[in-house]
A and B are shown apart, each in its own frame.
Chain A
């Protein structure tokens, strides 16, 4: 239902209200603090829980990932592709670890599913590219935006 509001006689004579409106805009124009963030120089700080660009956490230059395949299983976009292999010390590790980032919906389920605290989403949000990018293992291992 529409709420019916009866404007008073002064309000119906629009001009006074218009002048008040003009005063409001003038005040905003002159005095109000401007909210614009001048991007490349100023950046917005997102919360640590922000889900941005992926990386795989390393300890002593060795990736945490054991290629358990939990993240490709849980990924709703099916954009993680892992080829598992075996290291000298019989440890399982990913030979290939690719994220087809264009399909990723940044849901963060891979991070949640990972038992080894390996795949993580950083705070980086500037990810525009001039070509279709697939994040390779080398790329993911650079500790870009490591949250520790």
Chain B
């Protein structure tokens, strides 16, 4: 096995285990976070702080009877959960989780696939996820499920436009759609205030784009306040109403993994991706001095840590928003998407274009 292939396998393993680990962690965070926000305690009996509750939940899902209702279309009913989960996993392939490293003539890229289409691939694969939801709703042969998946398709299509538009400005500035390039370019200094370097992070050069992206990403991942496809008060549970045991758990996994991909995208596009968090550069120097390890290796390690911290923050942000905002009504959702966010995206693009032409950005 050549070093490239083995390194590739290691990267795949890291990403896969990382994404799979996200699910129980988010189960825990979601349950306890929601409880604490509502002034409850939440599950706190299993293990320290109730951390093993997630394991119990998963065990319960595994041992539940996997029954298929008789009125469903068996084929589509069975493959729909997979169609939600697999694209969710695939999207993460292009996201760089640390900078590149050159050692002993070998060049390591901490990114499963450094595709030229980069972020476009993300959007393309992510929009495949909607097929799983539509199939689930259709195959369930249940009016609530069908309504849920209809809503979800309308919502996803509307917000995909804004999602795409919101980052065109970034692409224009960084002149690349490769996520690796975008993350690397954000290491430059934008301007210096009182000795503090403000990095060229996406949020500083595209604040409006960031807001649009954030809002549409919430709609894309079907999280509150845009979780109309599930809307338990009016649609019971929407598209996954007829699902139970592990099949339902797959939908949930898909949601959490979509969330982590979305958080990773936000971090990569607007918060410098794997760029060291402010202050960590000093820590890297100290660690390298003390342990006598090559400074490049330590840097890569801390870049990974920075990336994980940024992603974790946005994962928490997803949970936080979920337990703060009430659900939108469907017409409000559509109004917001088409009449507010979409024009704003166009204006943002226009202004960015002018600024680039004038040489400001």
Contact = CB atoms under 8 A, between A and B. Distances in A.
Interface of A: 15, 18, 21-22, 24-26, 28-29, 32-36, 38
Interface string B307-333: 000000000000011011100000000
A25 B38 CA distance: 8
9 residue pairs, one from A and one from B, having the closest CB atoms: A36-B41, A25-B324, A29-B37, A29-B36, A21-B324, A25-B37, A36-B40, A32-B39, A34-B41
Given A15-B211, A29-B36, A22 B324 contact: yes
Contacts, number: 35
24 contacts: A15-B211, A18-B324, A18-B325, A21-B324, A22-B320, A25-B320, A25-B323, A25-B324, A28-B36, A28-B38, A28-B39, A29-B36, A29-B37, A29-B320, A32-B39, A33-B39, A34-B39, A34-B40, A34-B41, A35-B39, A35-B40, A36-B41, A38-B41, A38-B44
B206 to A, nearest CB: 16
Nearest to A23: B324
A15 B321 CA distance: 12
Interface string B26-41: 0000000101111111
A22 B321 CA distance: 7
A102 B33 CA distance: 38
Contacts of A32: 39
Most A CB within 10 A of own CB, among B33, B36, B40, B321:
B36
Interface of A is mostly: helix
A14 to B, nearest CB: 9
Contacts of B321: 22
Interface of B: 33, 35-41, 44, 211, 320-321, 323-325
Given A28-B36, A28-B38, 19 more contacts: A18-B324, A21-B325, A22-B320, A22-B324, A24-B324, A25-B37, A25-B320, A25-B323, A26-B320, A28-B39, A29-B36, A29-B320, A34-B36, A34-B41, A35-B39, A36-B35, A36-B41, A38-B41, A38-B44
Most B CB within 10 A of own CB, among A25, A33, A36:
A25
A22 B317 CA distance: 10
Nearest to A32: B39
Contacts of A38: 41, 44
Contacts of A34: 36, 39-41
Contacts of A26: 320
A32 B35 CA distance: 12
Contact of A28 (B37, B41, B44): B37
A32 B40 CA distance: 10
A24 B37 CA distance: 9
Given A18-B325, A21-B325, A29 B40 contact: no
A49 to B, nearest CB: 28
Contacts of B38: 28
Nearest to A33: B39
A29 B37 CA distance: 4
Contacts of B39: 28, 32-35
A24 B324 CA distance: 8
B76 to A, nearest CB: 38
A37 B156 CA distance: 42
Nearest to B33: A29
Contacts of B325: 18, 21
A29 B321 CA distance: 12
Contacts of B323: 25
A22 B348 CA distance: 26
Contacts of B35: 36
A23 B215 CA distance: 18
B259 to A, nearest CB: 17
